[in-house]
Every structure is written in structure tokens, then in C-alpha cells.
Chain A
């Protein structure tokens, strides 16, 4: 390795004529003349020494030390504040989720009380027709034979957490479209009631996404996903095996190493959905009595 001479005079223009390109000369100058040219020219001019040389250098060094320690403190002072804000936000999210869960439980309890009181007032036939309507709307817990589809992200990918902050994993393989396709396929195969990760689907349910997480009726669910459907289990299984989404999940199982399985169940119970009472919709005129619009 060749090195430039130790004390090399400042490069004057016109030297190194072999280097014709200005940019190359500039880079060459940058790499070889690392010392501030001021030192060399001051030395060459032979400036006289002053009494304030020592204090001046000391003052400069003091300033530099201050700048360095200032930057260090600035970097390390703001870091704990950020961390505190982050953990505060996380704890607030958990608190609100807990409060939401408590309210949900209370709503279900009160709903059950209302249903019990209403049952006492209703006659036998009214009760039966109400039960049928509730079953169709999904507002009552049910049980029956059916099938269950389980699928989830690969349990551990070696490169998932390397060099990343905890809590940030790589892009998920399974998206809302896959969960939605499974649910729709089960409806198509004759399911009478469908539940995704314990959340019962109704006629107004939506399976969507926010960022990388899947939302079912605005509640976040995460891998592994379990879709359960009550219905004719033989018919549902036959139709599901042959469906596009089953083939897609099968392929993803082979390629991306996701988990995927489904099986028929002789009996399973599905939770009730929290069905909101319609606020604007009223019962319309029965079709037989309606007049055709002009």
C-alpha cells in the first residue's frame, strides 16, 4: 500500500496535470489532503507566536468538549422520555380494551336479563317465532354439528425478529381477504352460523384490515385464526375441500409454511353476537300488500 508523504505541501492548482477530470481531482484532494490547509499555510507564512495561543487553543478545546457532551446528553435525555410515552400509550390501550371488554360483558348480561323477562311475558308461539328470528339474526348462542378451519402464520421464522424492534414482525402472510374468503366459502357451502376467533358473524359483520391486523366487526384478531361454522358438516367439508380458498391456503402451507387444517365436528357451540338494534330501519309493507310503484 502506497502512502502519501507525511508532511505534504498543500496542493496548488496546476499540480497533477495527469488528472484531467475536475471531479476526480476533487475526490483525490479530499482523500489525500485531510488536514485543514490553514495549518500548512500558517506555518509556511511563519506567523509569530502570541501569548494568547495557549489560552485560545484551550478555549477551543473547551468549546469542543462542551459540544460533544451536549450532543451526548441530548441524545440520551430524549430516549427515556420517548420510551415513557410509548409505555404510557400501551397501558392506556390496554386499559381501554379492558373497559370495552367489561362493557361488552355487561351488555351481554343485561341482554340475557331482558330476554328472560321478555320470555316470561310472551306466549308460547310468540316465543318460538322469536327464537327462530334470533337464530337467523345470530343474536343467540347456538350449538350443533359443523366444521372448523384453523390456519395461522408460521410459528417462528428465523429472520423475523433479527435487527428489528420487538413488536414489529415481518409482513404477515395471511390477510383479511383470506379470513373473509374462508368465512364466505363456509356461508356458500351451507353454513347456518359462522364464528371467527370467537366473534359471531351476522348480516352486518365486516372482516377488514387495519395496518397488518385483521379486524372482525372492528375487533382486532390475530393469528392463529379459527373459523367455525354450524351446518351440514359433510356437505360443508366436501365443498370446502374443493374451494379456491382451500387450495390457496394449501399452497401457502407448502410455500410459506403457514399452518392450515380443517375438520368436521359432531357438536360445537357458537357464542351470540352483540346485535345492535336498528335505529332507523322500520318494518316495511309486506310484499303481498305492496302496490307496484308508478
Chain B
């Protein structure tokens, strides 16, 4: 509940202060978005499963963002950045869909 409120507060803070993203960070923003969505859905599912752990939630989000950014960074340097971005998005996208399906089963029992 507090986490959901904090999510809304984060969105409102972003809307109020309108921070600008440095140019060099821009390519990693889509990856960060997908990792963030994955963390949100994973966290909700863990909460519904009754195994939510705040440390795992934060550490998995931060490390997912960092690892995904590192993969894309290396890919950019080696000339396969676009393909590796796609790979990251596909893997995290599958996880998002799976977790969303699990949440749906929890909520609707269907």
C-alpha cells in the first residue's frame, strides 16, 4: 500500500520538477522503463504470493536496470546495440506478461 502510494508520489514529483535526462543517458531510458515495469509486476505478484521482500524488490530492480544498461552499452560499442536492446526487451517483456497473468489469476481466480 505504502509502495503504491510512493509510486504515485514518484510520478507526481517527476511531473512537478520535470528533471531533464542527460543526452548520454537517453538510449538507456527505454531499457530502464521495461526493467521498471518488470519490477512493478514482479513485486505485485510476489506480494500476492505472500513472499514479497523489500530488499529483493529494490535490489532486483536496480541490478536489472544496471545489467540491462551494461548489455546495451557493450552492444553499442560492439555494433549490436539494437539487437541486444531487443533481446533485453523480449526477455523482460515475457516476464512482465507472465507476472501479469499470475496477478490476473490471483485477482480474478480465473
Interface residues of A (CB under 8 A from B): 3, 6-7, 30-32, 34-36, 38-40, 42-43, 47, 52-54, 56-71, 73-74
- Which residues of B are in contact with A by a Cβ distance under 8 Å? 2-11, 13-15, 18-19, 21, 26, 29-30, 32-33, 36-37, 39-40, 42-43, 45-46, 49-62, 65, 91, 94-99, 102, 105-106
What would 8 A/B residue contacts be, using CB atoms closer than 8 Å?
A31-B98, A43-B50, A57-B52, A61-B6, A68-B14, A68-B33, A69-B15, A73-B15
Q: Secondary structure of the B side of the interface?
A: helix
Residues of B within 8 A of A40 (CB): 51
Dominant SS among interface residues on chain A: helix
Q: Given A34-B99, A67-B36, A68-B33, A58–B57 Cβ distance below 8 Å?
A: no
CB distance from B54 to the nearest CB of A (A): 4
- Enumerate chain B residues within 8 angstroms of A54, measured Cβ to Cβ: 2, 54
Given contacts A30-B94, A39-B51, whether A61 and B60 have CB atoms under 8 Å apart is no
The answer to whether A67 touches B33 (Cβ under 8 A) is: yes
Q: Which residues of A contact B61 (CB under 8 A)?
A: 60, 63-64
Q: Let me know if A62 and B56 touch, CB within 8 A.
A: no
Q: Assess the B10–A64 pair: CB atoms within 8 A.
A: yes
Tell me if A34 and B10 are in contact (CB < 8 A). Answer: no
Closest to B55 in A: A56
In-complex Cβ contact of B36 among A3, A30, A57, A64 (8 A): A64
- Complex CA gap A54/B47 in Å reads 13
Write out the residue numbers on chain B whose beta carbons fall within 8 Å of the beta carbon of A71: 29-30, 32-33
CB–CB A31/B11 < 8 A = no
Chain B contacts for A59, CB-based, 8 A: 6, 58
**Cα of A63 to Cα of B57 in the assembled complex, Å:** 12
Contact of A64 among B39, B50, B53, B97 (CB under 8 A): B39
Complex: chain A residue closest to B63, CB-CB? A38
Q: Which chain A residues border B105 with CB–CB below 8 Å?
A: 3, 6
Q: A54-B2, A65-B14 are in contact. List 17 more A-B contacts (CB 8 A).
A: A7-B51, A30-B94, A35-B42, A35-B49, A35-B98, A35-B102, A43-B51, A52-B54, A53-B54, A57-B6, A61-B10, A62-B7, A63-B10, A65-B9, A65-B10, A68-B14, A68-B36
Given contacts A3-B105, A60-B3, A62-B10, contact A30 B91 (CB under 8 A): yes
Distance between Cα atoms of A57 and B45 in the complex (Å): 14
B2 contact set on A, CB distance < 8 A: 54, 57-58
Complex Cα–Cα for A47 and B61 (A): 19
Contact yes or no, A61 B49, CB < 8 A: no
CB distance from B22 to the nearest CB of A (A): 11
